Every structure is written in C-alpha cells, then in structure tokens.
Structure 1
Amino acid sequence: MDLFEPLDIRFIRPNTPLQHMNILAIGNEKEFLEYCKDRDITPIIFPEELEFNDNKNKGYHFVYEKRLHGWVDIQDITEPAIILLGSGNHHYISHSILRKIIDKQHDGYTLILIDNHPDCEDINIKDPKGDYPINCATHVRETLRKGKLVEVIHIYRKELANADWYDTKLNKRTYKEATGEEQATIFNEQMIDTILANIFDEVYLSIDIDALSHDDVDIEQYQVYDQGQMRLDELLLILRKIKKLKQIIGIDICGMSEDKRAESVYDAIIEVLR
C-alpha cells in the first residue's frame, strides 16, 4: 500500500491536551537514573532478572511477554502518560504499555514510530512453557500481531537496507514508512501534513532518539545498532504538528545514552509534548 493512499478510517476528534499527563520513568541504567534524579523524577526500577541475553541473536536483551505483562500490571499504570524508558534496549516495554494499558482504553489507533529501525524482526525463539520472548527489535511486530493497534507509521531519515528480516506484511494490519528519499531530504510541513491526514486521529507516539544524527546526540557508542540522520529540529517539528493535528493517547521515549546531549534531547521532546 502506498504511504499516501487514502485509508478508510475515522477522522478528527477534539484534541486532548497533554498538560495533565503524568511523566513516568521506567529503567535501570546508570545514566537514566541520574537523569531522573536530576529532575526529581522517581523512576520505576525495571528488574534485571526479567531479562535474558541470547548470544545467537546479536546479544539482544530479551524478556518473556507474559512475565513483562504481569510486571506492568503490578505497576498499576492507568492514566495516559509520557513514559521515559531509558536506553533503547528497553524499548520493548512499549509493547506491554500498548497491550495492557492503551488497548483497554482504545479500540483502534495509529502507532507513530520515530526510530532508526522498524523493530519488526521475526526472531524464532520459543519458551517450553508457552511464553514468547520479545526484545527491542521485535516489539512492534508483536503489537501489530496481537493488539488493537491498527497501523504503524514509521518515520525516520535513513534508508533501511534490504535485510532479510525486514518484513512489512504483518498480519492484517498495516505498516508504512515515511522517510526522506535521500539524505539531503528533510521533513517539511507539507510532507508531515500529508502523512498525518491519512491516519487515525488517535495516535500513540513511540520515540527512540537513535533516529537522530550524530550531530545532535551520540547513541551508537551505547546501543547495539547504528543511528539515523534526522536532525533534532526536524523531530521537534514533527512532534509539534502531531500535537496540533492529532489526539495523542500516550507517549514513550527511549534511547538515553552516555552522551550528555541525550538528556537535552529528552528535555526538548518533553517540553514540546506537554
């Protein structure tokens, strides 16, 4: 399906202001905990014992889906929030937030994923007890397969390689890319308006700051993957347009790194979206 093909979906509802959204923090890395402390945010410490590494799959941090859902249930997160997730390794927590919180409140919505990677790998690891492992590279695929999420709009600046795991045919639901055709192309307001005109009015934002250029923040030194070419001013323009035109039902942000500029990036995103 072409990105700009009209979709048979419902359109504009009154915007819900974000001023009353809570800021929640979930993570356990040193840099992230220091960021929270400096801003008087009390984080929910993510238990390391829930994770395991699989050296056969690029050393990913995995977590079993049912155990993650159970842990999120215990946290009793019920209100819409800006949820800070620490490093990109914990982006999979977004999956449980969507399944256990957002799905209970909304029947259909669009996930706007701003990330240098699609997070849609298909990694065939099964647990003998019937649980299913997910990680930062698979969580979007699993949410599309199992949740009430209807479509994903993936916004990034770097053209993905034709990797064998990159599959946009995800069940009955829709996955579309929105990217500059080449490095020199930037996201202008007209392009953003066109993208937003053809999606649900209710949107959930999931942001990994690895989409940003090295000129704005250095993520690659700390993460498994490489990072993108989007500039911070482009990202903030996109977020302002989304806030103006759509009803944001939740937000998560990840990608915190050892680069202190990551803290300023988090602050800038929060300032725009609150």
Structure 2
Amino acid sequence: MGLLRTGISIVDFDETYIVQKELQKYPHEEIDFQQMRHVNLYCENESLELLSRRLQKRSHKGITFIGSGNYHYLTYLFLKEIEKPFTLVLFDNHPDLGTECETLLSCGSWVSYALKDIPLVEQVVIIGPTSVLRDPINHHQVTLFPYKNNHPYSIKSILSAIHTPTVYISIDKDVLNTNEATTNWDQGVMTLASLTDCLKAILSCKQVEGVDICGEAHLSPADLLLPDYQAIIQKNQTANLKILQTCLQSGYRQTRGA
C-alpha cells in the first residue's frame, strides 16, 4: 500500500512556489505554464488540450503541486490517466460539483466533469466541506463528510466509505482553517493535524495513484516584502511541507516493505 508512482512535480502558472524556498529544495520536475492563456478559473477547450499533452509527458507523477485553487481543475486531467477503477478522495472546503449552467471546465465544476466523463471513477469521497451545510448535495456516487465547528469524523468511518482498493487524493488547502493556511477562497475549519492523520491512514491501507495539492494565495511582487505576506508564505509552505512529508514517509514504508 502507499503511493504507486514516484516523484514530485511543481506546476507553475504564476510563480507561486518560487518564494517557498524549503519546498524548492526537494528534487522535483517543474512544469512551466506561465504563458498559457484562458486557464484562470475556467479552462477553454483548446487550452485544456495543450495542458493535457504537456502533463502527460511529465515523468514525476507521484505528488503534484498545482498552485492556486483557481487551477484545481488540473486534477480532472490527472484522473484521466488512471487505468483501473478508483475512488477520488477530495479534501476541500467546496465540493467542486458545479452547476448545470456551466459549459466550461472550471475550478468549481471539475468533479462533476470527472463523474460524467471518466467511467473508472467509481465514487467520490469529499472530506471537510463547510459550504454543503448551506446547500446539501445528493449524488449517488458522492459521499460527503462535511465539517462544522471542527467536529472531526473518525478515520475508521472515512476509510469504511472508500470501497475501492485504489484511490487518488486531491487536497485543496482551503479545507484548512485560517490559522493553518491562507488561500484566495473562503476556508473551512479542519486542522492540519487532522488532514495529515487522515492522509496517513489512507496511504497506509490503499493503493494511491497520486496526490495533488493546491490552495496557494496569489501574491504580487510588490506584496512579497511586506511582513504580513511573508507570514502567509511561511504558513502555506509549512502546510505544504507537512503534507509532502506525510506522503513521502508513507511511500518510503511501502518501498522498504516490498
């Protein structure tokens, strides 16, 4: 059990990660999309084809850092690469199921596109959303673990909801409370410790095709020298490193025990 693929990729739409110096020290493959057009929030079909072709050529598919949650729809492309039935496990403050009126793939609709377009997605388990407390969702392939006032679910109950041996894990840091991360979307109440404990449990008992992480705050060059923004960078980097280290440690245990 553990990660089935190796390596770290960092996707660069807006130089988000350049300032996270400790994260940059980990060996990784950088994929530069800074010149891509029509990709922020919504992705036009032509741009999606270009993104797909570039991403398919990457050699490091174990752990991928996406950047801002505005580009979370990249997970849809990662899911299309999986060749066996699987469960998408999503940590997110939003279900990203979109609305019927959306005609373009977006950061808020990509889960519904995956359910519609990818037959190997057997189910989606979404952990940590608070928005669904206001707008309940009923979908026969979707299991929700909404959070309210940081009331955590038992890891056993979450694992029992994942029916396939193979999973893909996607993490949007907006699922975390504002003490643990700062994003450009409204945030949930989950603690980083709860997230990594659950992540560790899934990695220890499931075959994980890959993990992606998004939820960076977009900072302009003028912001970077201000003390408040330096604190944001450090906070998000700390969260990224703890998530990354959890994934790598689980992957190492699998390799050592093989």
Are residues 184 and 142 of structure 1, via their aligned partners in 2, closer, same or farther at CA, if it must alter by over 3 Å? closer
Q: Give the conservation status (yes or no) of the 8 Å contact 1:123–1:138.
A: no
Determine helix, strand or coil for the equivalent of 2:17: helix
Q: Give the conservation status (yes or no) of the 8 Å contact 2:8–2:61.
A: no
> Which runs of 5 or more structure 2 residues have no equivalent in the other structure?
220-231, 249-258
Alignment equivalent of 2:179, drawn from 201, 206, 215: 215
Q: Distance in 1 between matches of 2:46 and 2:30?
A: 22
Letter in structure 1 aligned against 2:31:
I
Are residues 141 and 32 of structure 1, via their aligned partners in 2, closer, same or farther at CA, if it must alter by over 3 Å? same
> What displacement does 1:42 show?
4.4
Q: Distance in 1 between matches of 2:42 and 2:155?
A: 38
Q: Which residue of 1 aligns with 2:143?
A: 176
1:77 and 2:58 aligned: yes
Alignment equivalent of 2:121, drawn from 149, 152, 156: 149
Q: Which residue of 2 aligns with 1:64?
A: 44
Are residues 93 and 52 of structure 1, via their aligned partners in 2, closer, same or farther at CA, if it must alter by over 3 Å? closer
Are residues 93 and 157 of structure 1, via their aligned partners in 2, closer, same or farther at CA, if it must alter by over 3 Å? closer
> What displacement does 1:267 show?
0.8
Alignment equivalent of 1:26, drawn from 1, 8, 11: 11
Alignment equivalent of 1:109, drawn from 86, 94, 97: 86
Q: Distance in 2 between matches of 1:78 and 1:124?
A: 36
Q: Distance in 1 between matches of 2:39 and 2:59?
A: 27
Q: Which residue of 1 aligns with 2:208?
A: 248
1:203 and 2:167 aligned: yes
Q: How many residues align?
A: 230
Letter in structure 1 aligned against 2:66:
L
Are residues 227 and 96 of structure 1, via their aligned partners in 2, closer, same or farther at CA, if it must alter by over 3 Å? same
Q: Which residue of 2 aligns with 1:124?
A: 101
Q: Distance in 2 between matches of 1:120 and 1:192?
A: 20
Q: Give the conservation status (yes or no) of the 8 Å contact 2:178–2:187.
A: yes
Q: Give the conservation status (yes or no) of the 8 Å contact 1:22–1:81.
A: yes
Letter in structure 2 aligned against 1:45:
D
Moved more, 246-255 or 258-267: 258-267
Q: Distance in 2 between matches of 1:189 and 1:52?
A: 36
RMSD: 2.4
Q: Deviations over 1:20-57 (max 9, x none)?
A: 6110111222332333645454421124543256xxxx
TM-score (norm 2): 0.79
Are residues 116 and 184 of structure 1, via their aligned partners in 2, closer, same or farther at CA, if it must alter by over 3 Å? closer
Alignment equivalent of 1:186, drawn from 143, 152, 168: 152
Q: Which runs of 4+ in 1 moved over 6 A?
A: none
> What displacement does 1:159 show?
5.3
> What displacement does 1:186 show?
1.9
1:264 and 2:238 aligned: yes
Q: Distance in 2 between matches of 1:229 and 1:210?
A: 9
> What displacement does 1:161 show?
4.2
Q: Give the conservation status (yes or no) of the 8 Å contact 2:150–2:189.
A: no
> What displacement does 1:184 show?
4.6
Q: Give the conservation status (yes or no) of the 8 Å contact 1:112–1:155.
A: yes
Q: Distance in 2 between matches of 1:92 and 1:140?
A: 8
Identity in percent: 23
Q: Give the conservation status (yes or no) of the 8 Å contact 1:115–1:156.
A: yes
Q: Deviations over 1:157-199 (max 9, x none)?
A: 5352444xx6543xxx60110134x415223333334334xx2
Q: Distance in 1 between matches of 2:180 and 2:187?
A: 11
> What displacement does 1:134 show?
1.0
Are residues 245 and 65 of structure 1, via their aligned partners in 2, closer, same or farther at CA, if it must alter by over 3 Å? farther
